[in-house]
Structure 1
Amino acid sequence: MPDPAVILVAAGPLADLGDVERRLAREHWPSAFVVAADGGYAHCLAMGLRPDLVVGDLDSLEPAAWSRLEAAGIPLLRLSRDKDRTDLQAALDEVVRRPPGRLIVLGALGGPRLDHGLSAVYAGIPLARQGWQIEYLGRREQIWLIAGPGGLQLDPRPGHYLSLIPLTEEASGVVIEGMRWELSGVSLRWGDSRGVSNEFSDRPAQIRLATGILAVVIGPAGAAECRPGSPGCSPRAWR
C-alpha cells in the first residue's frame, strides 16, 4: 500500500475553501500527513484540519491562532526570525524525511509576493528529482512538477489553458497527446515558450517526458489581463 499523501499548507491565498475541502476529503484528507508552514496553521483551522506538524517562526499567526496551537499540543518546529530559508522551505525539509509519494501544496501561489511563489515552485525541484509527485493548488492555477521519465494524465477541462515550463536546462522527449496542439518527443529548453498556452480538447490529456523536469500549469483561459487604462491597473506600471 502506498504511503499516505502529504499536504503542506502555506500562508498564501487558497482556492475556495469548500472546493479544497471536498477535493482533499475525497482523495487524500483522511490518511494524509499534514504540515502547516507558519500562517498556514490559520488555514488549517478554517478547514477544520489538524496538522501533524507546524513549522515556522510564527510571525504571521494571530494571537488567537497561536493560543489554539499551544492548547492543541501539536508538534511545533519553531524557527528563528533571523533565518536563511523561508518557512515553506523549512517545511519541505521536514517533508523529505518521509518516503517519496504524493505532495499537495496549498497556499503557495497567487499571493502579493511573486518571489515567494517562484521560490515555492523551485523549492519543489529537489523533491521531484527524488520521486515526489507534487501538485501546487492555488486560487486560480494548479501546477504539477513532473520529472522524467514520467508523466501525467488529466481529464478534459473546457475553458482552461495548459502550459509546459521547463525547470531544468532541457526537458527532453516531451509528448503531449489529447490537447489541441500535440507534441511528439520534442525537447523544451530554458526560455522556450513552445509549450505555453495549449488548449484542452474533449479527450483526456497525456503529458510525458524522458528527462528533465517540467512545470505543468493549468488555469482559466479567461483570466483577466492588466492593460493600460484597465480598472485596477496602475498607469505607472506602463511607463
Structure 2
Amino acid sequence: MIINILGGGPANYHPDLKEFDSGDSWWLGVDKGVFTLLATGIKPDYAFGDFDSVTDEEWMRIKREVSNLHTFKPEKDETDMELALDWALTKGPEKIRIFGGTGGRLDHFLGNVQILLKAELNGLSTQIEMIDRQNQLFVKGPGSHTVEKMANLKYISFVPVTPLVKGLTLEQFKYPLNNCHISLGSTLCISNELVSDFGTFSFTEGIVLVIRSND
C-alpha cells in the first residue's frame, strides 16, 4: 500500500498529482491541501489539520465532501504534516509520498525535511519521499541501495544528516567514491549523475538525505 499526503505548499510546485492516483493508494490532505485535492478532482480518504489556512467557503466544502476528518487546535506541539505522517506510519505502508511540502515558507520546508527521518529513526521499513515538480527527496540508513536512472531527475546528491557518514561508496556514477567518510556540512556529494541504467550507493554508518533533481 502507498499513502500519498498533500500539504499546503504552493500549487505551482506540485507535479501532476493524478499520475500518482493509483487504485492501491490512499490520499491524505493536510490543511489547505485538502481543498487543493478536491479542486484537482481527487477525493481525500482522510483529512488532517487545524484548517486555519482555508476560507469559510473552503471549510464548508471540506466538511461536506470528506468523511474522515482529523481536526486539531492551532496551538499544538506538532505540525499538521507531522500529525498526518505519524498516523500514516501506523498503517504500515510500503511507501509514503509527500507532496506540497516544498516552496513557500522555509520553516515549513525544513520541518518537512526533518520528518523524512521518522521511519529510519524508528526502525520502520516504510520509505518516505517528498516530491515536487523538480525534486524527489528521501533518506537512507546504512547498507547497500540501488538507484535507477530517471530522465526527468538527472542529478543525484547525497547529503549527510548525521555528524558523520562512514564508508560511502558510489558505483556506476560519474563521480565514483570508494569507502569515503563525509561529515555534516560537506558538499562533496552534490550533483552527481548515473553513467548506467542502475547505480548503487552504500555506507556503513550514518544517515544520508538523497536528493534527485532536474533543472
Residue 226 of structure 1: aligned partner? none
State whether structure 2 residue 31 is matched by structure 1 residue 38.
yes
Residue 224 of structure 1: aligned partner? none
1:41–1:51 CA contact under 8 A, matched in 2 = yes
Please show how residues 153-164 of structure 1 align to structure 2 within 5 Å: 153-157=147-151, 160-164=154-158
Change (3 A) 1:206 1:83: same
2:8–2:32 CA contact under 8 A, matched in 1 = yes
Residue 138 of structure 2: aligned partner? 144
Residues 140-196 of structure 1, C-alpha deviation per residue, up to 9 Å, x if partnerless? 222122222352412243783221111122222322222210122322221121111
* Unmatched tracts of structure 2, length 5 or more: none
| Partner residue of 2:99 out of 98, 106, 122 | 106
Aligned residue for 1:89, secondary structure, equals helix
Change (3 A) 1:138 1:64: same
Residue 204 of structure 1: aligned partner? 198
Residues 3-34 of structure 1, C-alpha deviation per residue, up to 9 Å, x if partnerless? x0111111103467673322x13xxx211122
Please show how residues 16-31 of structure 1 align to structure 2 within 5 Å: 19-22=16-19, 24-25=20-21, 29-31=22-24
Aligned residue for 1:68, secondary structure, equals helix
Residue 174 of structure 1: aligned partner? 168
* Unmatched tracts of structure 1, length 5 or more: 222-239
- The one-letter code sitting in structure 1 at the alignment partner of 2:107 is D
Q: How far is the alpha carbon of 1:96 from its aligned partner?
A: 2.2
Q: Partners of 1:158 and 1:72 in 2: how far apart?
A: 35
Please show how residues 1-239 of structure 1 align to structure 2 within 5 Å: 4-14=1-11, 19-22=16-19, 24-25=20-21, 29-109=22-102, 111-129=103-121, 130-157=124-151, 160-221=154-215
Change (3 A) 1:11 1:88: same
Q: How far is the alpha carbon of 1:211 from its aligned partner?
A: 3.0
Residues 170-226 of structure 1, C-alpha deviation per residue, up to 9 Å, x if partnerless? 2223222222101223222211211112134353333333332211112224xxxxx
TM-score with structure 1 length normalisation?
Answer: 0.79
Q: Partners of 2:44 and 2:200 in 1: how far apart?
A: 34
Change (3 A) 1:31 1:100: closer
The answer to which of 56-65 and 195-204 deviates more is: 195-204
